[in-house]
Amino acid sequence: MSRMLVPCHVKSTVALQVGDMRTSQGRPGVLVVDVTFPNVAPFELLEITFKNYYTAFLSIRVRHHTPLHTPSKWVTCLRDYCLMPDPHSEEGAQEYVSLFKHQMLCDVSRVLELRLILRQPSPLWLSFTVEELQIYQQGPKSPSLIFPKWLSHPVSSEQPAPRLEGLPDPSRVSSEVQQMWALTEMIRASHTSTRIGRFDVDGCYDLNLLSYT
Amino acid sequence: MLQEESDLSLIIAQIVQKLKGSNLYAQLERQAWACLQRPEVRLESLKEDIKEFFKISGWEKKLQNAVYSELNVYPLPSHPSAPPEHLKEPLVYMRKAQGSWEKRILKSLNSMCTELSIPLARKRPVGEQKELLNKWNEMGTDEPDLSLFRPVYAPKDFLEVLINLRNPNYENGDSLSFRTHLGLIQVPLKVKDIPELKECFVELGLSTGQLGIDDSTQVPPELFENEHVRIGQKVLLQQDSAAAQQYIRQGSPTALRAELWALILNISSQPEDILYYEQLKTNVIQHDLLVDSLIYKDVKLTASNDDYYFVFEDYLYQVLLCFSRDTSVLGHFAYNSASPPKSYIRGKLGLEEYAVFYPPNGVIPFHGFSMYVAPLCFLYHEPYKLYQIFREMYVRFFFRLHSISSHPSGIVSLCLLFETLLQTYLPQLFYHLREIGAQPLRISFKWMVRAFSGYLATDQLLLLWDRILGYNSLEILAGSSG
């Protein structure tokens, strides 16, 4: 199934916090990231991939394209997806994640906008976000190859030759021979990746000092 | 469900790809061709008949063991967007810390090289090669002047690096919070707590028989020992790696241990393996490496001085010198957070065709490294078998004890697990030691880095290493320290 990257514009994150942000001590635990798709028609969402950075839970809301004169509402398509099983520890903190269409709670066939709601309840982390966000839609179907008619519909013109007594059925033999041939081809085609084991270059192992890359 | 199916196909494809390059694949091919001659194999049901033959002749079991081995050793395929360094170590700050630590080691090795005016590698003149070949079995009698050499680093240097490891995105402030780490390790890795450990290591519970406890002289052997030995013999007869791994969680009888470990690690000494070891020996004879002197020094300082292991001194040289030349060890760097040191042939700096790894296996030994090999000498007496077992143990377990990573069996997690267990089980002891300035990790760190080799009596040590193999995890080391 091919997929196509959808060019998107990720707006800067907005922190949701109660009270006056300048004077409050704590760090925000909820961030909202809006993703818009300028110049792209409403599309069918296939996959969302990103690299996590210390986000514990992810919710996604989607705004659909609706027929004219109907106001489009935000619908939750993913609710509290857990990225870090223990928000206080490092597990899952910097993992690459993929979310697919079949995991979504609602229909995502005419997406206009996405809203990612990131939650990190633990006060131990200084910041959290998601990085390298990429949205994919269904790619174009591979063009079906047109076979010439004589290849796909072989004409059975000749009369089958009269069977000689005592010999096995020719079609059966030919299918078995074909099977054998296929096996030998398979074995020949797979070449073993042998380990070379040489550590020198043409017998020489006279080295410089070690390099710091 | 779709995702799980595609993950499974990816894992299967990865394992098939790995096995295609192995000896087992070539052997299976030969066997398949040979069995075409057999009368029970018919053309119309060729595939099924060959499969049936494999099942009966034990080849299917060998393949099963190989697949099981791959699943145990190699991590699952990661996300398609993840770069290779993510597989080595997912956390960026740990990768950076490992990188700086490696740079320090390289600088140390380079300065030793320039100070002593000894080249990193040198081709031996023919006379010297002959001499070394003659005394290959008694290299311990050699007394080279090693006074100028010093180990590249010792476990305590490594501990200092781990103590200073910090996550830049973590609240590392001085104020006490509910998650302040009272021990030396200050990174918030996930470690198992007591209930999780109990669930994971269920076979080590009080109500299950254990070798090492329930086979002591006071306990009559009919209660546990005899039955356990009988099951062990059955497992060996079946030649099933997975069953052996399950069995050994309760300890291995001394007589069966060598074979059981070889079965679990999927080591079968084929003629190709013996040939490979001989090839490594030739490499040792032809080239002299600076790392060899480090190995000599380490063996003389540690194993030769140990009451249990000094008799194996010659074996240790034969294994460790060959280990340094083994390029197949480079494969484990795919899942090790460390990277092998690189260099260029003299005069060809920067040209990639002349880039090489140094030492050829990419592993620079540190003070105490030879102690990983020493206990194995009690089990295996042919050098090539001892070599294979050690190499497999290293690329499965021991490499995690001296590289910085977030893996649950990595040394950082083990240290944190130890400190957490001690605080939970013996809080007063922990507090007291802290108060008198003796952080408990400083004492137990060297035990864990060496996997207790040299610190426990050999029979106890081998029982401990039985459990490491049985659970495919080093977490038991932290439990034993606590």
Structure confidence at residue B39 as a pLDDT band (50, 70, 90): confident
Average confidence (pLDDT) over A15-30: 73
Average pLDDT over residues A37-52: 90
Cα–Cα distance, B120 to B117 (Å, whole number): 9
A3-18+27-138 — its CATH code? 2.60.120.260
In the block, tokens 């609710």 appear at A79
* Cross-chain Cβ contact B79/A209 below 8 Å: no
Decide if pLDDT at A129 tops 50. Answer: yes
Q: What pLDDT score does A139 carry? A: 76
B343 → closest Cβ in A51, A94, A207: A207
The CA distance from A179 to the nearest CA of chain B, in Å, is: 9
- Taking one residue from A and the other from B, the number of pairs with CB-CB distance under 8 angstroms is 143
The verdict on B344 touching A (C-beta cutoff 8 Å) is yes
Kindly determine whether residue A49 and residue B114, on different chains, have CB atoms separated by under 8 Å.
no
One-character DSSP codes across B104-116: HHHHHHHHHHHHH
**Cβ distance of A96 and B283 shorter than 8 Å:** no
Check if B114 contacts A (Cβ < 8 Å).
yes
Contact status, residue B320 vs residue B140, Cβ threshold 8 Å: no
Mean pLDDT of B20-28: 81
**Which residues fall within 8 angstroms of residue B6, CB to CB, at 6 or more apart?**
none
pLDDT of residue B315: 93
Q: Which residues of A touch B406 (CB under 8 A)?
A: 90
B470 Cβ under 8 Å from any chain A Cβ: no
- Write the ipTM: 0.83
What does the pLDDT read at residue A192?
41
Of A100, A132, A204, the CB nearest to B345: A204
Burial of B143 (0-12, 13-18, 19+ CB in 10 A): exposed
Q: How far apart are the first and last CA of chain B?
A: 42
Rounding to the nearest 10 degrees, give the CA dihedral for residues B246, B247, B251, B253. -150
What are the structure tokens assigned to B163, written together?
A: 């103590």
Count of positions (residues) in chain A: 213
| Alpha carbon of A151: minimum distance to chain B alpha carbons (Å) | 27
**How far is it, in rounded angstroms, from Cα B221 to Cα B215?**
6
B91 touches chain A (CB under 8 A): yes
**Whether residue B41 has pLDDT greater than 60:** yes
* Other CB atoms within 10 A of residue B383 CB: 20
Average pLDDT value for residue range A13-37? 79
Q: Please answer yes or no on whether B92 and A90 come within 8 Å at the CB atom.
A: no
Closest CB from A95, A199, A209 relative to B90:
A95
Helix (H) or strand (E) holding A74, with range, is strand A74-82
CB B377 within 8 A of CB B316: yes
> A3 falls in which pLDDT band (50, 70, 90)?
confident
Looking at residue B381, its pLDDT comes to 92
Between chains, do A124 and B177 touch, taking CB under 8 Å as contact? yes
Residue bearing the bigger pLDDT, B396 or B21: B396
Q: Domain map of chain A by residue range?
A: 3-18+27-138
Closest-CA distance, B370 to chain A, in angstroms, reads 23
Residue B49 has pLDDT above 90, yes or no: no
Q: Which residues of A16-30 are buried (b: 16+ CB within 10 A; e: fewer)?
A: eeeeeeeeeeebbbb
Confidence of residue A176 (pLDDT cuts 50, 70, 90): low
CB-CB contact of B229 with B253 (8 Å): yes
How far apart CA B79 and CA B18 sit, in angstroms, is 19
Considering chain A, what is the average pLDDT of its residues? 78
| In the predicted structure, residue B255 carries a pLDDT above the cut 80 | yes
Structural contact between residues B415 and B351, judged by C-beta atoms closer than 8 angstroms: no
**Which residues on B lie below 8 Å from A176 (Cβ)?**
43-44
Tallying the residues shown for chain B, one arrives at 482
| Rg of chain A, C-alpha, whole Å | 30
Put simply, whether the predicted model's pTM sits higher than 0.80 gets the answer yes
B residues 20-59 near A, CB within 8 Å? Answer: 20-21, 25-26, 29, 43-44, 46
Distance of CA B390 to the CA centre of its chain: 8
- CB spacing of B2 vs A100 below 8 angstroms: yes
Using CA atoms, how far apart are residues B413 and B162, in angstroms rounded to an integer? 11
Mean pLDDT of chain B: 87
pLDDT at B369: 94
A38-52, A163-177, B321-335, B353-367: least confident range: A163-177
**Per-residue pLDDT, B270:** 84
**Torsion from C-alpha of B280, B155, B74, A210, nearest 10 degrees:** -50
User: Least CA distance to A90: which residue of chain B?
Assistant: B189
Please tell me what DSSP assigns to residue B316. Answer: H
- B91 contacts A94? CB cut-off 8 A: yes
Selected residue of A193, A204, A205 to mutate for chain B interface (largest B Cβ count, 10 A): A205
Q: Does residue B119 belong to the interface with chain A, where contact is any CB pair within 8 Å?
A: yes
Pick from A12-16, B115-119, B306-310, B374-378: least confident: A12-16
Which residue of A85, A123, A187 is in closest CB contact with B29?
Answer: A187
Three-state DSSP class for residue B364 = coil
Mean pLDDT along residues B187-197: 87
Q: Are B228 and B253 in contact (CB under 8 A)?
A: yes
Would you place residue A195 in the very low, low, confident or very high pLDDT band (cuts 50, 70, 90)? very low
Nearest CA in chain B to A85: B190
Q: How far is CA B132 from CA A170, B1, B77, B129, in A?
A: 68, 61, 44, 5
Chain B hits for A124, Cβ within 8 Å: 170-171, 177, 179, 188
B31 has pLDDT over 90: no
Q: Which of these, B163, B104, B97, lies nearest to B442 by C-alpha position?
A: B163
Q: Which stretches within B36-168 are classed as H helix?
A: 46-57, 59-73, 84-88, 92-116, 126-134, 155-163
Q: Are B183 and B441 in contact (CB under 8 A)?
A: yes
Burial readout B448-471 (b: 16 or more C-beta within 10 A, e: otherwise): bbbbbbbebebeebbbbbbbbbbb
Question: What is the mean predicted confidence (pLDDT) over A68-97?
Answer: 90
**Across the interface, do A206 and B356 touch by the CB < 8 Å criterion?**
no
Q: Is A190 within 8 Å of B20 when comparing Cβ atoms?
A: yes
Q: Which of A123, A126, A213 sits opposite B169 (nearest CB)?
A: A126
Chosen for mutation from A90, A102, A201 (greatest number of chain B CBs closer than 10 Å) is: A90
Peptide bond into B359 cis (omega under 30): yes
Nearest-CA neighbor of B448 among B181, B156, B90, B98?
B156
